[in-house]
Amino acid sequence: PQLLMINSSPTPTRTPQIEAVIRNFQESGLPEARGLTNTYGEKGVDKHTDARTLYHNEISRSKFILCPSGIGWDTYRIWESIVLGAIPVIEKHRYEYEKIVYPPSANKRPRLLHSQEHWNAQKMRRHLRRFNATLETVGYYDGWRKSMDDLPVLWIDGTFGDELTPELLVEQYDALAGRAAEFRYEKLTSLYWMQFLESFLLNHNANGNGNHDALVWQRAMETLSSTFNDHSTSVKKFMKQAAAKQIDDDLVQVGDDGAGDDAGDDAGVRAGVGDGGDVDDGDGTDGAGVPSYLFGSRQPEILSWVLFAELKLVGIVLVVVAIRRWDADANADAAKSDPDKTNGDVGSKR
């Protein structure tokens, strides 16, 4: 297996990062670091299906895969890489902004400075002295990255070119392998996220916020149920495979798979290795009789596009629920302020 896979379109923002990582590998003396290239758009592949097959095969025989940002950070590449047995390498971006913090005596909320175009240094000092306030710099990270908690993901602080070296990957691979039993691979299924989102609705309903909330909760649950029934093929497939392959019980430790005692010998451990990286033939092996493992844990097969399509539908449902709740609250307030007018409006609609 190769240590790192790079398959990214060379956009102006990505190219310097990719070139820096390749230089880091070329300057390293590790045997695993030899021959790293960006395989995006390689010549000799005529058909789209052939390109996709080669792409997935390369992921399955790689320990890590570079996942630079594109239009958004949380992309399908991250999820399908984990499913195919590779560890995504992602930049952890820290965002900073400035805010003015006022003392309690000023009775003013902190003021977020989106831009300092209208705040020259003299005006800022005058404002801070007037209210005895302070200017603070606050940093935060993207909230979506918490969805990757408890999954085999390598986060890079800063940029790929500064931090990503073959020595780091070798070290982190061993560290992640030691945590194999801790990873929650159920997060790769739509069933997990369905239950996660439904848990918020259940908790909200349990608070007992009146008949209206109970009705909204019931409507939302009915909508969720019908939505996912229409897109439940992936869930059924996963449950069937889970029963057949005993995902929870059939675990093998790295280096204890009958392929040798060396933890670095990944034959039988990595998904899709075996004889020349043969593809999975559906029997739980890689086509060469070698079990498809990631750190010794069997992987559920699920299409990432199904997961994201369902999550988008759930997001739409939750927005509709919020709008309905707001509309109902507004009508209730109107009824309290002018009962006669509200009753008249209701009668006219009927």
- Is 70 a domain residue? yes
Q: In this structure, what is the dihedral angle of CA atoms 320, 321, 324, 330, given to the nearest 10 degrees?
A: -120
Same domain, 88 and 111: no
Q: Which two tokens mark 314?
A: 């759930």
3-state secondary structure of 143: helix
Q: Hey, which residues does 140 pair with through a beta bridge?
A: 95
The tokens 């790295």 sit on which residue?
A: 254
Same domain, 67 and 158: yes
Residue with more model confidence, 149 or 13: 149
- Is 284 a domain residue? no
What's the domain count of the chain?
Answer: 2
Q: How many CA atoms lie within 13 A of 259 on its CB side?
A: 22
Measured CA to CA, the distance from residue 145 to residue 123 in angstroms comes to: 38
Same domain, 88 and 99: no
Same domain, 32 and 68: yes
C-alpha gyration radius of the chain: 26
- Is 131 a domain residue? yes
- Is 55 a domain residue? yes
Between 18-22, 226-230, 323-327, the lowest mean confidence (pLDDT) is in: 226-230
Same domain, 126 and 12: no
The tokens 């759930």 sit on which residue?
A: 314
3-state secondary structure of 4: strand
For 175-221, how does the pLDDT look when each residue is reduced to its tens digit (9 = 90+)? 998 888 888 888 887 778 877 777 766 554 445 555 555 555 555 55
3-state secondary structure of 156: strand
For 57-113, how does the pLDDT look when each residue is reduced to its tens digit (9 = 90+)? 888 889 999 988 765 555 667 888 888 889 999 887 777 778 889 999 988 888 877
Same domain, 127 and 67: no
Same domain, 3 and 73: yes
23 φ, ψ (degrees, to nearest 5): -65, -40
**In 151-206, beta strands by DSSP E:** 154-157
Nearest to 113 by CA among 126, 96, 129: 96
Q: Containing H/E element for 16? A: helix 14-26
Same domain, 79 and 158: yes
- Is 137 a domain residue? yes
Same domain, 31 and 123: no
Cβ–Cβ under 8 Å, residues 179 and 40:
no
For 283-312, how does the pLDDT look when each residue is reduced to its tens digit (9 = 90+)? 333 333 333 333 333 333 344 444 555 556
Cβ–Cβ under 8 Å, residues 188 and 83:
yes
Domain of 4, CATH number, reads 3.40.50
Same domain, 21 and 108: no
Q: Tell me what pLDDT residue 289 has.
A: 33
Length of the chain: 350
Same domain, 135 and 27: no
- Domain hosting 160: range is 1-92+151-177
